[in-house]
Amino acid sequence: MRIVIEKRQALSRTALILTPIISFFVSLLLGALLLMASRVNPLETYAAMVRGAFGTWSNFTETLVKAIPLMLTGLGVSIAFRMRFWNIGAEGQLVCGGIAAAWVALFWTFVPEGLLLPTALLVGALAGALWAGVPAALKAYIKVDETLTTLMLNYVAILYSQYLYYGPWRDPQGYGFPGSALLPAMAWLPRLTGRVHYGVFFAVVVAFVLWFVFTRTRWGFELRIIGENQTAARYLGINIARNIVLALLLSGALSGLAGAAEVTGLSRRLQQGLAVGYGYTAIIVAWMAQLNPLAVLVVAVLMAALLVGGDQVQMMMRLPAAVGLVLQGMILFPMLAGALFVEYRLRIIRPQAVDLEPTPTAPEVTP
């Protein structure tokens, strides 16, 4: 008996849906081994995680709070990845958006009060766009490798934000705590329930708009062609450089919007806790969602649940903090590996019945 992996002739919807689910259970099994090695009961731990993420209304809202930036950055990253542009700078783009939004809210006193919040969000998105646009232009016009530039710009943005809230922007009434002054209330992004802010609407609207753009517009059609085959795109008269820059401006703008929403909706000041890795987790979200904007929404909630649940496990099961993170990685691994089965399938070949008769002599030749 042999097992072969072969490419699927057509995309299977069943596989598309079943694969992540089965992968998820495999993940749980692997995680259970790790937990048993740490001498805790895996079932209890998982139960604690689920309770931590969804058990109470307030826990659930916390999960949503973390899901919002994951959705927006995940959407941003998936646009870039569709173009085969490896934007791993969503973290920096998010921070830039946060800085810009705080800047507008704190210092743009000339903006009419009613327009302060929209302006802050818009400028935040623009700042994120700029932060992604620079590496995009470098890549598109002079072929500078984007993985390095986008990654490096993360540190620039993160360190600059620290400089601002430790230095010139530090709140004089802040008792020496690092962080800017509280933003004026006119610049606060309203909240729905708990700490869940309106960013969740942005994410959902953006996801549907992106889905529409990719499947129904001329521009989306061009982006799909560029993502699949750049030689063909050039031959078909599509301007690749310009489209990469445009797509990356959009990608960065979404991460910037995520940062702006975090600052105006959650912390309401520029302070520590903005750069906590959403931009990196977004890469995983984008891949797990197979770059499908609507799936990003769902996956972002699951990832957020993992983050919130993991924190809860640390507290309730008294596991070291690292175990929570290892567990998250453990759960991701099979999910990503499982993606293989969407494009490929296993086929089991049974051994053929072997003739026990003496080897036949050469059959006659067909005339």
Partner 1 sequence: MTNQPEPQAILQMRGITKRFPGVIANEQVDVDLFPGEVLALLGENGAGKSTLMNVLAGMYRQDEGEIYLRGEQVAINSPRDAAALGIGMVHQNFMLVPTMTVAENIILGLTEVPFVPDMQAVTARIKALANRYNLQVDPHAYIWQLSVGEQQRVEILKLIYRGAEILILDEPTAVLTPQESRELAAVLKLMTAEGKSAIFITHKMEEVIAFSDWVRVLQNGRLVAVKRTAETNPQELARLMVGREVLFRLEKQLAVPGPVVLELCDVHTRNDKGLPGLQGLSLQVRAGEILGIAGVAGNGQRQLAEVITGLRKATQGQMLIHAQDYANRSPLDLIRAGVSHIPADRIGMGAVGNMDVADNLAMKGYRKSPLSHLGMLQPQRIQEFARKMIAAFRIATPSPATRVKFLSGGNIQKTILAREIDACRDVLVAVYPSRGLDVGATEAVRKLLLEQRDKGVAVLLVSEDLEELLSVADNILVLSEGRAMGCVPAATADINALGLMMAGVSQPLTVN
- Chain residues in the site for partner 1 (CB under 8 A): 2, 8-10, 215-221, 224-225, 228-229, 231-232, 234-239, 349, 355, 359-367
Distance between CA 146 and CA 224 in Å, rounded? Answer: 19
Distance CA(365)–CA(367), nearest Å, equals: 6
SS (H, E, C) 250-274: HHHHHHHHHHHHHHHHHHCCCCCCC
Q: CA nearest 206: which of 328, 106, 88, 73?
A: 73
Q: Which is nearer to partner 1, 176 or 360 (CB)?
A: 360
Q: Which helix (H) or strand (E) holds 17?
A: helix 13-37
Q: Which one, 34 or 213, has the nearer CB to partner 1?
A: 213
Nearer CB in complex with partner 1: 109/231: 231
Q: Of how many residues is the chain composed?
A: 367
Smaller CB distance to partner 1: residue 43 or 236?
236
Nearest to 81 by CA among 230, 248, 213: 248
| Least spacing, CB of residue 337 vs partner 1, in Å | 21
Closest distance to partner 1 from the beta carbon of 288 (Å): 20
Q: Shortest distance, CB of residue 366 to partner 1, whole angstroms? A: 5
Q: Specify the residue, 173 or 361, whose C-beta has the smaller distance to partner 1.
A: 361
Minimal distance, residue 17 CB to partner 1, in Å: 19
Closest CA to 155 of 90, 92, 99, 69: 92
Cβ distance to partner 1 smaller for residue 107 or 208: 208
* CB 70, CB 281: distance < 8 Å: yes
State which amino acid sits at residue 244: I
State the DSSP code for 84. T
Contact in structure between 137 and 77 (CB atoms under 8 Å) = no
State which residue, 182 or 240, has the beta carbon closest to partner 1: 240
C-beta neighbour count of 136 within 10 angstroms: 27
How far is C-alpha 360 from the chain's CA centre?
Answer: 62
Cβ proximity to partner 1: between 32 and 213 the closer is 213
Least distance from C-beta 144 to partner 1, angstroms? 21
CB of 234 vs partner 1, minimal distance in Å: 6
Minimum gap (Å) between residue 289 Cβ and partner 1: 18
**From the CB of residue 229, how many other CB atoms can be counted at a distance below 10 Å?**
12
Contact between 84 and 263 under an 8 Å Cβ cutoff? The reply is no
Q: What is the closest distance, in whole angstroms, from the C-beta atom of residue 77 to partner 1 in the complex?
A: 20
* Structural contact between residues 303 and 284, judged by C-beta atoms closer than 8 angstroms: yes
Please report how close the Cβ of residue 9 comes to partner 1 at its closest, in angstroms.
5
Rounded CA gap, 295 and 249, in Å? 22
| Cβ 292 vs Cβ 121: under 8 Å | no
